[in-house]
Amino acid sequence: MSRKPCFRAADSRDAARCHEIEQSAYEGAEAATLEKIALRIDLYPEGFVVMEIDGQVAGFINSGCARKVVMSDEAFKELVGHDPDAPNVVILSVVIDPAMQGRGYARLMMEEFVERMARMGKATIHLMCKERHVGLYAKFGFQYDKPSASDHGGMSWHEMVRRLDAPALSATPHGDGA
């Protein structure tokens, strides 16, 4: 890792840069639109954490909260049904600028996000990922739940969950560039 990142809640000025990163890191229809990103920032900035390196946004994690988690609920991606007081966090995107990948920033960003959610009193963090990322999220303390009913972006997904009373993130190095 070459430079030390700093973390903060997103604000409306971050929407265009976050959209640019999202478009560069995700495949086609799985990437959120600029409108969705701006809406997520507006409705739940506490759950939209950006990572800056040298004053530029280089990655982010955004989320919403629900009392009952239904990962295949496409409307939730627009935070329909989001309740900021609910105990369960649903991650919508975890993104590092492709030019900054492979330097350990994803681990630092996830550690920061988990710590923030724990301080907010959240009980669980849920996410969906492609099969190739299941091992990566397992190293971040997530447990495999099940194949997802979601076909977001025309792809197959897997649901994972991290209980916030679970042990800290693994310190084991990994070779997948996170």
Q: Which domains are delineated in the chain?
A: 6-163 (3.40.630.30)
CA of 126: how far to CAs of 71, 161, 168, in Å? 8, 4, 16
pLDDT tens profile 26-41: 776 778 899 999 999 9
pLDDT tens profile 104-141: 999 999 999 999 999 999 999 999 888 888 988 999 99
Query: Across all residues in the chain, what is the average pLDDT?
Result: 86
Q: What is the pLDDT of residue 151?
A: 65
Which residues make beta-bridge pairs with 90? 64, 126
Q: Tokens 């972006």: give the residue.
A: 153
H/E run at residue 174: none
pLDDT tens profile 140-168: 999 988 877 766 666 678 899 999 975 55
